[in-house]
């Protein structure tokens, strides 16, 4: 008889401890139907700032995984960008089309308020600046407000600028020149950030290939930027120099990496490597230069931070431009240390947290 072994699911505290999260808050309200989880990963550098995502998760476990993974990413993004922010994120469970109401958002705002500034929220998937206005009615610990309310507005143009800088740095490493003129670049996902990125790439004379979940969006981008639109799954098989993931995460995986013919991967999507420890080294072994996602997509966070500290959009763009130098540094460090760029970037972020943590150890 075959013995079937069942693995016990990890305990709740086991999951929270796995990546040393500081605090996880489960929020529930019967009246509005609010079910939310706030994940605070690390606040050594400052308050945990990260957006709230509204998503119809298949299970509570899936929502918890998402908030733990995303909040950890925010810690590293802030740390490597030199910001005095910690990492946090929130998820509201449910379909935005049916559950989102003013009352639900304001109730969520009260849970954020109760954290007394340890967590600052902002927009993420399925949340808008209008939703932030409702949350602002209950708490001041919210960023990403409209410019008319003194906020920093849409972060996407700044995210695109940083991604462009990171791509140029990776090109310098791979091709010996930062110029993208004549380079064949495949942009996967032509939403907010992807479209702004295409503007930069077109201006520089790149040859563009695009794909999007919505075929009409891909066609519209192709017409506007003189690009070729390809099918959803075909983007991985193109004869391109640079692959730019600007849609969802985990697109660098067992299936796709073997198909890539490019020498550079640089895009704005979060969590591009399905498994960092497996797919990071695999890209290196195939001679592909990978620009770490949380480093080159930090422009949006830098922009939101400008709202928290009261600086300007121009200040945010100037700081975002430094992503070029940081990316080159990370790529050099990875090569010198015989590791992959994502690991090198994570180590740099962890080193900054450790050293600044010591600064704060005394009054
Ligand atoms: P968006 O929703 O405006 O655009 C994403 C686009 O990707 C959409 O057009 C969608 O149809 C498309 N898409 C989805 N699945 C696809 C697939 N399999 N193949 C091709 N296209 C697909 O989102 P955005 O604000 O442009 O963000 C894009 C990515 O960048 C996300 O991963 C987001 O988390 C990340 N990011 C965004 C910002 C920001 O400032 N907006 C900042 C940091 C990171």
pLDDT in tens, 83-141: 999 999 999 999 999 999 999 999 999 999 999 999 999 988 889 889 999 999 999 99
pLDDT digits (tens, 9 = 90+) for 241-254: 999 999 988 899 99
* Assigned domain for 304 exists: no
Residues 192 and 335 in one domain: yes
Say yes or no: 264 and 202 in one domain. yes
In a domain, 89, yes or no: yes
Q: Judge if 196 and 213 occupy the same domain.
A: yes
Q: Are residues 264 and 244 in the same domain?
A: yes
Distance separating alpha carbons of residues 204 and 165, to the nearest angstrom: 12
Query: For the domain that residue 207 is a member of, what is the CATH number?
Result: 3.40.50.720
> From ligand 1's centre to the CA of 266, what distance in Å?
14
Q: Is 77 contained in some domain?
A: no
Do 240 and 255 belong together in one domain? yes
Residues 211 and 288 reside in one and the same domain: yes
Could you give the CA distance from residue 228 to residue 246 in angstroms, rounded to a whole number? Answer: 16
Closest atom of ligand 1 relative to the 154 alpha carbon:
40
**Token pair 């559950």 is at which residue?**
99
Within-domain flag for 6: no
Choose which residue among 154, 157, 189, 229 to substitute to test ligand 1 binding: the one with the highest number of ligand atoms within 8 A of its C-beta.
189
Each residue's pLDDT expressed in tens, for the chain with a length of 363 residues: 445 555 666 899 999 998 899 999 999 999 999 999 999 999 999 999 999 999 999 999 999 999 998 999 999 999 999 999 999 999 999 999 999 999 999 999 999 999 999 999 998 888 988 999 999 999 999 998 888 888 888 889 999 999 999 999 999 999 999 999 999 999 999 998 999 999 999 999 999 999 999 999 999 999 999 999 999 999 999 999 999 999 988 899 999 999 999 999 999 998 899 999 999 999 999 999 999 999 999 999 999 999 888 888 899 999 999 999 999 999 999 999 999 999 999 999 999 999 999 998 888
**Catalytic position from the list 77, 89, 107, 207:** 89
One domain, residues 171 and 269? yes
Instruction: Tell whether 242 and 193 lie within a shared domain.
Output: yes
- Count of C-beta atoms within a 10 Å radius of residue 147: 12
Residue nearest to atom 40 of ligand 1 (CA): 156
Please check whether residues 117 and 201 belong to one and the same domain: no
Residue 8 lies in a domain: no
Strands annotated E in the chain? 23-29, 34-42, 48-49, 52-55, 86-93, 119-120, 184-188, 207-211, 228-229, 242-245, 264-265, 289-290
Query: Of 149, 167, 198, which residue constitutes the final position of a domain?
Result: 149
Nearest CA to ligand 1 atom 12: 189
Question: Is the same domain home to 210 and 344?
Answer: yes
Ligand 1 atom at shortest distance from the alpha carbon of 248: 32
Tell me how far the alpha carbon of residue 361 lies from the centroid of ligand 1, in angstroms.
39
Ligand 1 centroid to residue 194 C-alpha, Å: 7
**What domain range includes position 163?**
156-299+309-315+323-349
Q: Specify the number of domains making up the chain.
A: 2
Is residue 193 domain-resident?
yes
User: Are residues 204 and 164 in contact, defined by beta-carbon separation less than 8 angstroms?
Assistant: no
Our answer to whether residue 89 is catalytic in this structure is yes
242 CA distance to ligand 1 middle (Å): 18
Question: What is the pTM (predicted TM-score) of this model?
Answer: 0.91
Whole-angstrom Cα distance, residue 197 to residue 353? 31
Residue pair 191/212 in contact (Cβ under 8 Å)? The answer is yes
Is 356 domain-assigned?
Answer: no
Cα distances (Å, whole numbers) of residue 59 to 38, 62, 204: 16, 5, 45
For helices 341-359 and 323-337, angle between their N-to-C axes, nearest 10 degrees: 110
The whole-number pLDDT of residue 6 equals 59
Ligand 1 centroid to residue 198 C-alpha, Å: 13
Take atom 1 of ligand 1 and give the residue whose Cα is closest: 191
- The last residue of one of the domains, among 125, 149, 173, is 149
Same domain, yes or no: 139 and 162 = no
Instruction: Give me ligand 1 centre to Cα 182, in Å.
Output: 25
For a substitution probing ligand 1, which of 49, 190, 196, 212 has the most ligand atoms within 8 Å of its CB?
212
Who lines ligand 1 at CB under 6 A? 155-156, 159, 188-194, 211-214, 217, 232, 246-248, 268-270, 297, 300
- Report the separation in Å between the CA atom of 11 and the middle of ligand 1, taken as the mean of its atom positions: 32
* C-alpha distance from residue 45 to each of 74, 85, 164, 175, 337 (Å): 12, 5, 27, 36, 26
91, two tokens? 């998820």
The closest-lying atom of ligand 1 relative to the alpha carbon of residue 303 is 40
Which CATH number covers residue 25? 3.40.50.10860
- Out of 126, 191, 266, 307, mutate this one to test ligand 1's pocket (max ligand atoms within 8 Å of CB): namely 191
Q: Would you say residue 173 lies in a domain?
A: yes
Q: Which atom of ligand 1 sits closest to the CA of residue 155? A: 40
Looking at 130, 149, 168, the residue that finishes a domain is: 149
Look at ligand 1, atom 17, and give the residue with the nearest C-alpha.
Answer: 213
The answer on 285 and 162 residing in a single domain is yes
């Amino acid at each position: 008889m075959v013995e079937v072994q069942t693995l016990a699911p990890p305990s709740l505290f086991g999951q929270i401890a796995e990546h040393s999260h500081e605090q996880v808050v489960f929020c529930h309200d019967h009246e509005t139907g609010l079910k939310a989880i706030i994940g605070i990963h690390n606040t050594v550098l400052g308050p945990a700032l990260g957006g709230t995502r509204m998503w119809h998760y298949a299970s509570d476990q899936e929502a918890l995984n998402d908030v733990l993974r995303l909040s950890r990413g925010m810690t590293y993004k802030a740390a490597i960008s030199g910001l005095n922010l910690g990492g946090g994120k929130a998820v509201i469970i449910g379909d935005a089309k049916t559950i989102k109401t003013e009352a639900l958002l304001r109730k969520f705002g009260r849970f954020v308020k109760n954290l007394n500034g340890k967590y600052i929220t902002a927009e993420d998937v399925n949340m808008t600046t209008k939703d932030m206005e409702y949350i602002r009615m209950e708490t001041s610990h919210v960023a990403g407000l409209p410019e008319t309310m003194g906020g920093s507005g849409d972060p996407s143009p700044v995210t695109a600028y940083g991604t462009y800088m990171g791509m140029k740095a990776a090109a310098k490493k791979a091709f010996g020149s930062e110029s993208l003129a004549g380079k064949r670049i495949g942009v996967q996902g032509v939403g907010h950030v992807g479209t702004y990125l295409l503007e930069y790439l077109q201006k520089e004379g790149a040859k563009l290939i695009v794909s999007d979940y919505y075929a009409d969006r891909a066609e519209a981008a192709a017409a506007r930027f003189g690009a070729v639109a390809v099918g959803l799954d075909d983007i991985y098989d193109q004869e391109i120099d640079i692959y730019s993931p600007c849609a969802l995460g985990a697109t660098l995986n067992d299936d796709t990496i073997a198909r890539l013919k490019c020498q550079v991967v640089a895009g704005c999507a979060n969590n591009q490597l399905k498994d960092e420890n497996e797919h990071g080294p695999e890209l290196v072994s195939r001679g592909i230069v990978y620009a770490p996602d949380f480093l080159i997509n930090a422009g949006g966070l830098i922009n939101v931070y400008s709202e928290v500290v009261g600086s300007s959009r121009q200040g945010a763009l100037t700081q975002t431009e430094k992503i070029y130098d940081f990316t080159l540094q990370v790529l050099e460090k990875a090569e010198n240390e015989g590791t992959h760029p994502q690991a090198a970037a994570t180590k740099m972020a962890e080193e900054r947290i450790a050293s600044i943590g010591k600064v704060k150890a005394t009054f």
